[in-house]
Structure 1
């Protein structure tokens, strides 16, 4: 019911109340968590590639390299489990040379805001503004959480006291036309997500 009608009344208050509680198929409450993440992630400017298996992850990774001409370049990567993707494509991961992009996994994908949650396991002690502008993330569908609080609960359970530090999110993946207070201090990244189905 509108504020105007609350103050001045209406002869048809019951029908307005019914309209307020009607089922809305486009409400975020009615969307599965994976779809909600995808919608919000794309709305934030992220590039999303769904992969059914590891072979599709490799193909999608090579497509990104080809699209951006990133073959035979230096890459920032702190996770040995991802080195094979780099080695297969003759990419170096040296800390002394300026990297073209960051290749990383993540702690969680947060559906209600379309953001990606990192920790020191993926980015060491670097702040988002210290990371390369280009980022490629390899994640799984089981990492999608509804909210930040769900993601933090998962970290608490998963690491059992050996908690990672430097927990941070990146939410904006393209420059907004009009900045407002919500975007103040945020770091914009050109981000690709390779999402592997594991459920």
Structure 2
């Protein structure tokens, strides 16, 4: 803009900055659940480990699954009493019972890394996920989740960091930035209250 236009033009009224009222007015837990459910995720809140186990058994029964994949030793303890075969080898045929790195409130997504998925891409895995997470894993933004990973793992940051944001494999994503991304999963989230 030239000097004279700047001098003689009337000042434009300052636009108010847009803020995300959801983050200002609601706790992070409520924002996450709202976004997660909007993205068609299935949410089960658990206050005890017995409730977690009961919900896993109900999910397996509801879907008539005979075998699930679980490569996490701590999670295997949770499903020991559930009548289902388990294997540790990740594949695209059997439902996956897995933990995660973080639950991201701003978009209702779930962040994973090589600690959970090894070297498999999300798109290469089963369309059925059961995710175990705790309330202490909730963060507001993607930036906070990545900073949390950096802090937690210091000099040994995991690879294969990726997220699932859509929870209906048959839904279409109109966002051109997601073209070809097949990370949509039929996902059950077991959120355990640990705070």
TM-score clears 0.5: yes
Q: Structure 2 matches for 1:48-197, cutoff 5 A?
A: 48-70=43-65, 72-73=66-67, 75-89=68-82, 90-95=84-89, 99-174=93-168, 175-176=170-171, 179-186=174-181, 187-197=183-193
Mean alpha-carbon deviation: is it higher for 139-148 or for 150-159?
Answer: 150-159
Q: Render the CA deviation track for 1:144-194: whole Å, top value 9, x for unaligned.
A: 000111011111111121211111111111133563425422321000000
Give the match's secondary structure for 2:85: coil
How far, CA to CA, are the matches of 1:95 and 1:35 in structure 2?
35
Give the match's secondary structure for 2:156: coil
| Conserved 8 A contact 1:52-1:197 | yes
The runs of 5 or more residues in structure 2 that have no matched partner are: 1-12
Normalising by structure 2, what TM-score?
A: 0.83
Give aligned pairs, total. 184
How far, CA to CA, are the matches of 2:173 and 2:161 in structure 1?
28
Q: CA deviation at 1:80?
A: 1.1
| Conserved 8 A contact 2:69-2:90 | no
Q: 1:171 to 1:97 in 2, by over 3 A?
A: closer
How far, CA to CA, are the matches of 1:169 and 1:81 in structure 2?
22
How far, CA to CA, are the matches of 1:171 and 1:96 in structure 2?
21
The answer to whether residue 27 in structure 2 is matched with residue 32 in structure 1 is yes
